[in-house]
C-alpha cells in the first residue's frame, strides 16, 4: 500500500520570528558573546539551544544582566518598566518585538485615550499578554480565554467597549468568544485590523486542509508555543488525531500504526531543519513526499530600528 507524507504550506518561521532570530544572530556577530535575551527569543527549544551555543544567554529577570550589556527583547513584547530598566542601567537594547505585537500595545494606548473600556482575549499569564496589559498603567483590563468566561465578566455596561486579542490564538475559539461578547455587550467593537496575526491564521487554515487528506497530523513545535498548540487543535477540530512534537525523536511510533497518509506542519517558531529531518525519516520508512500548498506567504519585516542604527554606526 502506498504511503504518503504530505508537507503543507505555509508552515514554520513567520516574518516576526525570522526577524527576532536574525536580530540575535546579528548582535552576536557585531558585539560577540555574550548577548543577553530577555525571555526566550521565540518559544522553540531548538532555536533557543542553537543561539545559546553561539553565545546568547536567555534570562527572565533583567537584574541578572550586567549593566551596559547588550540585550535583545524577545518577539513576544515587553513591559514599559522593562524598557525603563534597560535605559536606567545603560544597556544596549535591540528590541525584537514582533511588529504585530507592537500593534496591539499601541491599540491599548489609543483606545484608553479615546475613552474605551478594553477586554483582552488571550491566555492568562502568557508573556505576550503580560506586556500588552502592562501598557494600561494601572488600569485593570480583564482577560478572558473562553466563551464561558464572558458570563462571569463584570465590567458594568460601558458605553464604549473594544476587545483586543493575543496574536497566536485559535481563530475558531476566538470567534466563539467574540460572539459571546457581542451577545452580552452589543456595543463592543473590534480593532480596525484583526489582532490574530496573518501567520497564525494562515497556518491554522492550512492545517485544516491538510487534515482532510491525512490519517494523522504531526505538528513540529515546542510545548510552550501557543501558535504550535493551536495548530494541533486545528487538526483535531476536523476529527483527525494530531500530535505536537519538537522533532522526530519525540515521535511515538505507535501513532503511525495503520497510517498511510501522514501530514506535517510546523509552528511559526519551529526551524525548517526539524521538518527536513522528518522528511528524511519518513522517506527511510518508505513514504513518498507530496507538497500541499494552501496559500503563498511573502510577508517580510524590516529589521529592528535599533539594529539599523547599530549597523549604521558600524559602517561609519
- Provide the annotated active-site residues: 128
Joined together, the cell numbers standing for residue 83 give 524598557
What are φ and ψ of residue 259, in 5° steps? -100, 125
Q: Distance between CA 66 and CA 174 in Å, rounded?
A: 41
CA distances from 185 to 79, 150, 156, 171 (A): 29, 10, 10, 20
- Residue corresponding to grid cell 526551524: 271
10 Å CB burial of residue 40 (0-12, 13-18, 19+) is buried
Question: DSSP H helical segments within 32-160, as ranges?
Answer: 45-54, 80-88, 99-113, 127-134, 147-151
Q: Distance between CA 282 and CA 255 in Å, rounded?
A: 14
10 Å CB burial of residue 314 (0-12, 13-18, 19+) is exposed
CA distances from 58 to 22, 40, 64, 138, 207 (A): 15, 6, 10, 28, 31
In which order are the strands placed within the sheet that holds 161-165?
143-144, 117-121, 161-165
Q: In the 8-state DSSP scheme, what is residue 189?
A: B
Spatial CA neighbour of 88 closest among 106, 65, 72: 65
Greatest Cα pair distance, the chain, in angstroms, is 66
Amino acid at each position: 500500500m502506498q504511503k504518503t507524507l504530505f508537507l503543507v504550506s505555509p508552515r514554520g518561521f513567520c516574518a516576526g520570528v525570522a526577524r527576532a532570530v536574525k536580530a540575535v544572530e546579528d548582535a552576536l556577530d557585531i558585539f560577540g558573546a555574550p548577548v543577553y535575551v530577555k525571555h526566550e527569543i521565540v518559544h522553540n527549544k531548538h532555536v533557543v539551544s542553537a543561539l545559546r551555543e553561539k553565545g546568547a544567554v536567555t534570562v527572565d529577570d533583567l537584574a541578572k544582566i550586567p549593566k551596559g550589556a547588550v540585550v535583545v527583547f524577545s518577539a513576544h513584547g515587553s513591559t514599559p518598566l522593562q524598557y525603563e530598566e534597560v535605559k536606567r542601567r545603560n544597556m544596549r537594547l535591540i528590541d525584537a518585538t514582533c511588529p504585530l505585537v507592537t500593534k496591539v500595545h499601541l491599540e491599548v494606548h489609543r483606545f484608553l485615550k479615546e475613552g474605551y473600556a478594553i477586554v483582552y482575549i488571550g491566555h492568562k499569564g502568557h508573556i505576550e499578554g503580560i506586556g500588552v496589559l502592562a501598557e494600561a498603567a494601572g488600569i485593570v483590563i480583564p482577560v478572558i480565554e473562553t466563551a464561558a468566561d464572558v458570563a462571569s465578566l463584570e465590567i458594568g455596561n460601558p458605553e464604549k467597549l473594544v476587545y483586543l486579542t493575543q496574536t497566536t490564538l485559535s481563530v475558531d475559539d476566538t470567534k466563539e468568544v467574540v460572539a459571546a461578547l457581542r451577545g452580552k455587550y452589543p456595543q463592543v467593537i473590534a480593532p480596525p485590523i484583526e489582532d490574530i496575526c496573518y501567520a497564525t491564521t494562515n497556518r491554522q487554515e492550512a492545517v485544516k486542509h491538510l487534515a482532510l487528506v491525512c490519517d494523522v497530523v504531526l505538528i513540529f513545535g515546542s510545548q510552550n508555543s501557543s501558535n504550535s498548540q493551536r495548530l494541533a487543535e486545528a487538526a483535531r477540530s476536523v476529527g483527525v488525531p494530531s500530535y505536537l512534537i519538537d522533532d522526530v525523536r519525540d515521535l511515538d511510533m505507535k501513532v503511525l500504526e495503520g497510517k498511510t497518509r501522514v501530514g506535517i506542519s510546523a509552528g511559526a517558531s519551529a526551524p525548517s531543519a526539524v521538518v527536513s529531518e522528518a522528511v528524511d525519516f519518513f522517506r527511510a520508512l518508505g513514504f513518498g513526499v507530496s507538497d500541499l500548498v494552501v496559500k503563498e506567504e511573502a510577508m517580510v519585516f524590516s529589521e529592528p530600528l535599533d539594529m539599523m542604527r547599530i549597523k549604521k554606526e558600524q559602517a561609519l
